[in-house]
């Protein structure tokens, strides 16, 4: 387990044990901050998702009667953050499509395929987390996984839109690309993940500003 994963777990535990009304917001912020510290790729998304869920599991037994709602709010915050990550990936890929001399059709197609699996990975992580715990936390996570699978998620809705729009954009790429001047597929993926992280930092900053403005308005009321 990396130090970053441990930090995420501690921060999520603290969020669940603090203000109940702000759990979703704080977990979303924790998740976005963790993702923007590196690159936004499949591995990073999985590791951060798992760390957030472990933090929620660890905090749950200390929450007495509020376990169910706290876990639901934490998962909602995680879902919202992953939706932002999907949006950032889409925007980075749209930029990459415009730079077709650097990114091959094959590399972009591979990235779209990875993006399309994001909701499935999220639902699978919920199921895995449920199997690794017991009691109220297990029942809640199991119900959330089932509901996400049947009714969809925020990240799934964002991914669906992104994949559709990216498919249209990619179809407009010239089919005859000269591969000799392009980066290797691994280098393309690394560059794209870095671009997505940069976009996500901008989205996260905007969400943070919106959240601060809302908190100030609530205090004034």
Assess contact for 77 and 150: CB atoms under 8 A: no
Does the pLDDT value for residue 8 go beyond 90? yes
> What is the pTM assigned to this prediction?
0.85
Q: What's the pLDDT at 40? A: 86
Q: What's the pLDDT at 176? A: 41
Q: Is 171 left (phi over 0), alpha (psi -120 to 50) or beta?
A: alpha
Does the pLDDT value for residue 210 go beyond 70? no
Q: How confident is the model at residue 204 (pLDDT cuts 50, 70, 90)?
A: confident
pLDDT, the chain, mean = 85
Q: Using CA atoms, how far apart are residues 89 and 113, in angstroms rounded to an integer?
A: 12
Q: Using CA atoms, how far apart are residues 203 and 129, in angstroms rounded to an integer?
A: 28
Greater model confidence, 40 or 116 = 116
Q: How confident is the model at residue 22 (pLDDT cuts 50, 70, 90)?
A: very high
pLDDT in tens, 137-156: 999 999 999 999 999 999 99
Q: What's the pLDDT at 215? A: 56
Greater model confidence, 185 or 160 = 160
Mean pLDDT of 72-78: 97
Q: What's the pLDDT at 213? A: 55
Q: How confident is the model at residue 129 (pLDDT cuts 50, 70, 90)?
A: very high
Mean pLDDT of 76-105: 87
Task: Print burial letters for 175-199: b (CB count within 10 Å at least 16), e (below 16).
Answer: eeeeeeebeeeeebbebbbebbbeb
Cα radius of gyration rounded to whole Å, the chain: 19
User: Long-range contacts made by residues 204-207, C-beta under 8 angstroms, separation at least 24?
Assistant: 204/29, 204/32, 204/33, 204/36, 204/84, 207/28, 207/29, 207/32, 207/84
Greater model confidence, 183 or 168 = 168
Does the pLDDT value for residue 111 go beyond 70? yes
Q: Extract the tokens encoding 120.
A: 């499935």
Greater model confidence, 161 or 213 = 161
Q: Is 135 left (phi over 0), alpha (psi -120 to 50) or beta?
A: left
Q: Using CA atoms, how far apart are residues 135 and 138, in angstroms rounded to an integer?
A: 5
């Amino acid at each position: 387990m990396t130090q970053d994963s441990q930090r995420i777990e501690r921060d999520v535990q603290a969020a669940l044990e603090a203000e109940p009304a702000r759990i979703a917001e704080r977990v979303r912020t924790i998740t976005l901050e963790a993702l923007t510290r590196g690159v936004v790729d499949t591995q990073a998304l999985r590791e951060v998702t798992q760390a957030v869920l472990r933090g929620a599991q660890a905090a749950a037994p200390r929450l007495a009667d509020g376990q169910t709602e706290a876990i639901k709010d934490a998962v909602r915050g995680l879902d919202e953050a992953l939706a932002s990550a999907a949006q950032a990936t889409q925007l980075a890929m749209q930029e990459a499509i415009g730079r077709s001399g650097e990114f091959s059709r094959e590399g972009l197609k591979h990235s779209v395929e990875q993006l399309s699996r994001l909701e499935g990975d999220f639902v699978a992580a919920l199921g895995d987390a449920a199997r690794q715990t017991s009691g109220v936390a297990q029942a809640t996570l199991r119900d959330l996984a089932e509901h996400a699978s049947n009714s969809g998620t925020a990240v799934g809705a964002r991914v669906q839109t992104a994949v559709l729009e990216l498919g249209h954009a990619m179809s407009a790429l010239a089919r005859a690309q000269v591969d000799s001047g392009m980066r290797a597929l691994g280098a393309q993926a690394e560059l794209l993940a870095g671009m997505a992280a940069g976009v996500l930092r901008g989205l996260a900053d905007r969400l943070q500003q919106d959240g601060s403005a809302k908190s100030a308005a609530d205090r004034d009321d």
